[in-house]
Amino acid sequence: MVELLNPILWHSIVAAATFFVLPTLGEIYAERSGILNLGIEGMVIAGAAGSYAIAYQTQDILLGVLFGMFIGGLLATIHAILTITFNRNQVVSGIGLTILGTGLSGLLGDAVIGKALKGIDSTPIPILNDIPTIGEVFFDQNIFVYLSFILAPILWFILYKTRIGILIRSVGENPSASMNQGVNVRLIRYLCVIFGGMMAGLGGAYLSLGWLNFWTDGMTQGRGWIVIALVVVALWNPLGAFIGSYLFGMFDVLQFSFQHEAIPFIFPTGIPPSVLKMMPPVSTILFLAIWGIILSQQKVKSIVGAPSALAKPFED
């Protein structure tokens, strides 16, 4: 039987979940401003390859991370130009960028496939680290994980308690009304989309430099797509980003731990890996279906739910 209370297991769940938290936070901001970015997968994977390559060449991890964010931001800028300035279809542009980002990752990472690099060490936080179990699970991680802990509440605060936050929400709800009040709709959307891309790039850098410590083609295994679903699960709330991310982080880790578990009658010789691998996508679909039913109620929709102007072209 797998030791479910094993701190080491939970330590790796936190590490896996952090990968989902960072891009989800970025995509929440993009969608809150009304722009759907389906190119997250491309930005994550290009960020992962780019940051690993640069870090390997220069032996400077920080430079690598910054480059990963730059690549993500650059791809997002293309999305912003197409969808905000030229009002093109957001779905088409996003999918196109995923293809572009995947191709770019092959190019950037070609030279460093399988090359070892010492990644980012964990930095235990004094005092907090000494709390039994919890300290081990949460406070003996690397800087990326702490960043996700800090960023989520900060981004929540900005979104709900500051002027720029309400402008972002207004622009995503009703761009015409915002413009009539003198808000620069396009500027805000540009900032949010580029920020989203940078967060996706940061997620990619974490994947290759902070978590798995290698680069290989297609190493995201489609995790970028799950981010799109996580935004819905999070109800477009930065704090909600944790809920879905940790759930999916759990699936990610447990699929290895449960491989040799036998379930009487169904899988007497252990759960086949293919079944475990199915868990994340199947649970995504289940989640979205349940959420969809709940959110389709008009009364619920007027309180929570997708930003009203999400993915709608806006011409002033």
Partner 1 sequence: METVLEMQNVCKTFYGDGVEIHANDNVNFSLKQGEIHALLGENGAGKSTLVNNLFRRPDSGTILLRGKEVELSNPIAALRHGLAIARQDLSKSLIERHTVAENILSISEGFFLSLSRIEREITSALNKYELGDIDPKTKIWKLSGGEKQRVEILKALITDPEIIILDEPTSMLTPPEIVNLFRLLNSLRSQGKSIIIITHHLEEAINYCDRITVMRHGEVVATLETEKEKNAWASEEEGIRHLATLMVGKEVLYELARKKMEPGKLTAEIQGLFATNDMGDTVVNGVSLQLKENQILGIAGISGNGQQELVEAMLHWRKVDSGKVLIHGKKIDDVSIVQDITGKSIREIRDLGIAYIPEDRRKALILDLSIRENLILNSYRKSGGLFIDQKSIVNVTEELISIFKIKTPSALSSVRSLSGGNRQKVVVARETTLAPPEGRKLILIAENPTFGLDVGTTQFVREELLRLREEGAAIMLISSDLTEVLALSDRIAVMYKGKIMGILNSQEATREKVGLMMGGSTLQEAIE
The C-alpha atoms of residue 298 and residue 9 are separated, in whole angstroms, by 41
Amino acid at 74: L
Q: Does 87 bind partner 1 (CB under 8 A)?
A: no
For partner 1, the closer CB: 155 or 202: 155
- Kindly tell me which residue out of 11, 79, 169, 189 binds partner 1, with binding defined by CB under 8 A: 169
Q: State the number of CA atoms in the 13 A half-sphere of 22 facing the CB.
A: 32
Bridge partner residues of 267 (DSSP): 263
CB of 290 to partner 1, least distance (A): 20
Tell me which residue of 65, 112, 105, 110 sits closest to 209, measured CA to CA. 65
The C-alpha atoms of residue 40 and residue 101 are separated, in whole angstroms, by 9
Size of the site for partner 1 (CB under 8 A): 26
Tokens of 93: 């542009």
Tell me which residue of 170, 169, 238, 248 sits closest to 28, measured CA to CA. 238
CB of 173 to partner 1, least distance (A): 5
CB of 178 to partner 1, least distance (A): 8
For partner 1, the closer CB: 73 or 172: 172
Q: Does 311 bind partner 1 (CB under 8 A)?
A: no
Q: Does 176 bind partner 1 (CB under 8 A)?
A: yes
Contact range with partner 1 by CB under 8 A, out of 5-13, 18-26, 38-46, 165-173 = 165-173
Bridge partner residues of 263 (DSSP): 267
Tell me which residue of 92, 142, 96, 95 sits closest to 120, measured CA to CA. 142
For partner 1, the closer CB: 3 or 163: 163
For partner 1, the closer CB: 37 or 170: 170
Q: Does 162 bind partner 1 (CB under 8 A)?
A: yes
Residues at the contact surface with partner 1, assessed by CB under 8 A:
161-167, 169-170, 173-174, 176-183, 297-299, 302-303, 308, 316
